Structure 1
Amino acid sequence: MDHSADQPAAQAAPRIRIVLVGTQHPGNIGSAARAMKTMGLSRLVLVAPERFPHPEARALAAGADDLLDAATVHAGLAAAVADCTLVLGCTARSRRVPLPESGPREAAAAMHAHAAAGGEVALVFGRERTGLDNDELQLCHGAVHIPADPGYSSLNLAAAVQVLAWELRAAMLAGGSAPAGAPRDPPASHAELEGLFAQLADTLDAIDFHKGRAPESAMRKLRRIYLRAGLDVREVRLLRGVLADAQRMARLARGGGDASE
C-alpha cells in the first residue's frame, strides 16, 4: 500500500496541538481524543479540566487511550501555548475581543503551512457552556468560526474538534511540505510575544501615553497590530531594545537616574 500521501501529514501533525480549556465533562475529553486520532493528530493539551483523569474519558476515547495517557495538563492557557508561534481559538462570533477571523478551511490551511515551516501551532477550544473568556481570547492570534446553521448553532465540543481535525487532515494531505525559500529567523514564540507586550504596557505607563485613560483598549489594538506582523525572534529583540531605551529616557526625564544605565 502506498502511504506517500500521508507524508505531508506526518511532517506537520506533530507540531499541531489541540488545547481544551476548562472542559467540564470528562466524556468530551475522551471523544475529542477519538476525533483527533481518526485524523492523525496526537497532541492533546488540557487546561484546568474539571475532572481528569476519569473513567468516562477513557470509555469514550474508544481506543485513543494513548492520547489521554500522553496528554499534558496546565493550570492556565498561557503556559499551555508558551512555545507556540500560532494560536487560534475556536469560538462563536463575538465582539468582546475583536480578532482576525477565518473559517475552518482557511484556518486549517494556515495552521498546516505554519507547522510545515517548523512552527508550533495550537488550536484552542473553550468550555462547553461559556467558551473562552476575554483573557484567554487575548492570548490567541486569531479566531476560527464554524458556520453552523444559525437556527441551531449549538455544536458539541467533540463535534467541533472533529470538524477542525478533518479540515486539518485535508489541508495536510493536500498541502505538501513547506516550500524552500530564503532562511529567516524563527518566528517569535507566544511567551516571547507576551514578554514584549508586558514591556510595551510598562513603557506606555512610563511615558504617560494613556493620559489618564484606561489602557486596555489601546493595548488590545497594539497587540493586534504586532500579531498581524508575524514577528520573528530577532525583531522582538529589536523592539524590546527600543522599549528599554524609551524606559531609560523616561526615568531620566523624571530625574530618576542616568540615561546610560
Structure 2
Amino acid sequence: MEIVFILSQPAVPENIGASARALKTMGFSQLRLINTTAHTDKQARILAHGSTELLRNALLFDDLGSATADCDLVIGTSAKPRHHRETLYPPTQLKELIQSQQLQRVAIVFGSEKHGLSNSELECCDILTSIPLATSYPSLNLSQAVMLYAYELSTMPLPAVDNNQYSPTTTDGQLKSLQRKLAVQAEDIGISSNDKVFVWAKEKVATLGQREIGFLHFINDKITNNKKQ
C-alpha cells in the first residue's frame, strides 16, 4: 500500500517546501500538487532543505478528481464539519481505519491556506479528518498539519517508492467498486449522489473493514441478480 499527500492550490512556497521536508523526514516520497506553480519558487526549495527531490518529482494536476483517480481511499482534511459529513476522524484513528482494508493507494488531501478544501473537492473525499485543537485560533498552518499527519502514519508498513507513480486506469479496489454499486442502487430508488443520505452512506462504507465490505458486495450482487430475473 502507498500513501500520497496532496496539496490543493497551495499559495505559499515556504509551506510547500516545509511540507516536502516533513514528508521525507517521516519516510514518505509521494507529493501531488493541484493548480499551483509555487513549488518552483526559490523559497520552496530553501525550506525543502534536503528534500528538494520531492518538489522536482511532484505530480501536477488541474483538479482533485484527476489527482485521486488512482486512489482507493481519499481522506480530506477539514477544520470543522462540512458538507453533510457526520464524522471528522482525528489523525490518531486513521492508521487503524486504513489497515482494516485492502487498499493499494490512499490519498491525504490538504486544502489551500486561505479557504481549505472547496465543496466540490469535499465531494471527492470518502471521509474527512480534523486535528483536535485546544483553541480554534490560531490554527496550524499547512506544513504543520502535513507534518502531524505524516508522523501519525509513519509507523505503518509501507513499500519503498523511489518516484511518484500515477495510474488512473488502475482497476477499482473493493471499496471503490462497492461505492459505484451503491450509487447505481441509490439511483434506482431515486436517491442522487448529492443527497445527504447517499453522502452519509458513502462515508460510512469507507470506514468498514474488509470483511464487512465483502459482505455488502455479496448482498448487492444478490439484489442485482434478482432484478435481472
- Look up the match of 2:79: 92
- Aligned-partner Cα distance in 2 for 1:17–1:110: 16
- Aligned-partner Cα distance in 2 for 1:26–1:66: 15
Residue of structure 1 aligned with 2:16, choices 29, 41, 54: 29
Structure (1 or 2) with the larger CA radius of gyration = 1
> Secondary structure of the residue that 2:197 maps to in structure 1?
helix
- CA gap 1:224/1:31 in 2 versus in 1, 3 angstroms: same
> Secondary structure of the residue that 1:105 maps to in structure 2?
helix
- Look up the match of 2:197: 221
For residues 182-233 of structure 1, what are the alpha-carbon distances to aligned partners after superposition, in whole Å with 9 as ceiling and x for unaligned? Answer: xxx94244xx5776577567x45xx7x37xxxx5752x4213314423557x
Residue of structure 1 aligned with 2:153, choices 168, 171, 179: 168
- Aligned-partner Cα distance in 2 for 1:128–1:151: 15
Residue of structure 2 aligned with 1:143, choices 128, 149, 154: 128
- CA gap 1:217/1:121 in 2 versus in 1, 3 angstroms: closer
- Aligned-partner Cα distance in 1 for 2:110–2:53: 20
- After TM superposition, give the deviation of residue 52 of structure 1 in Å: 3.7
Contact 2:81 / 2:88 at 8 angstroms: preserved in 1?
no
- After TM superposition, give the deviation of residue 62 of structure 1 in Å: 0.6
1:16 is the counterpart of 2:3: yes
Q: Which amino acid aligns with 1:130?
A: H
- CA gap 1:221/1:122 in 2 versus in 1, 3 angstroms: same
**Root-mean-square deviation (Å):** 3.3
- After TM superposition, give the deviation of residue 75 of structure 1 in Å: 0.7
Contact 2:85 / 2:199 at 8 angstroms: preserved in 1?
no
- Look up the match of 1:134: 119
Q: Which has the higher helix share?
A: 1
- After TM superposition, give the deviation of residue 147 of structure 1 in Å: 0.8
1:79 is the counterpart of 2:66: yes
For residues 49-99 of structure 1, what are the alpha-carbon distances to aligned partners after superposition, in whole Å with 9 as ceiling and x for unaligned? Answer: 253422221111111011112110111101111121111111111233314
- State the TM-score, normalized to the length of structure 1: 0.67
Q: Which amino acid aligns with 2:198?
A: L
Contact 1:101 / 1:144 at 8 angstroms: preserved in 2?
yes
Contact 1:119 / 1:187 at 8 angstroms: preserved in 2?
no
- CA gap 1:63/1:57 in 2 versus in 1, 3 angstroms: same
> Secondary structure of the residue that 1:152 maps to in structure 2?
coil
Runs of at least 5 residues in structure 1 that lack an aligned partner in the other structure = 1-11, 176-184, 247-261
- Aligned-partner Cα distance in 1 for 2:25–2:203: 32
- Aligned-partner Cα distance in 2 for 1:216–1:187: 19
After superposition, where does 1:1-261 map in structure 2 within 5 Å? 12=1, 15-114=2-101, 117-170=102-155, 172=156, 186-189=173-176, 203=187, 209=190, 218=195, 220-230=196-206, 235=217, 242=224
For residues 108-154 of structure 1, what are the alpha-carbon distances to aligned partners after superposition, in whole Å with 9 as ceiling and x for unaligned? Answer: 3323554xx44210011001011001111111111111112225341
- After TM superposition, give the deviation of residue 101 of structure 1 in Å: 1.9
The size of the alignment, in residue pairs, is 206
- State the TM-score, normalized to the length of structure 2: 0.75
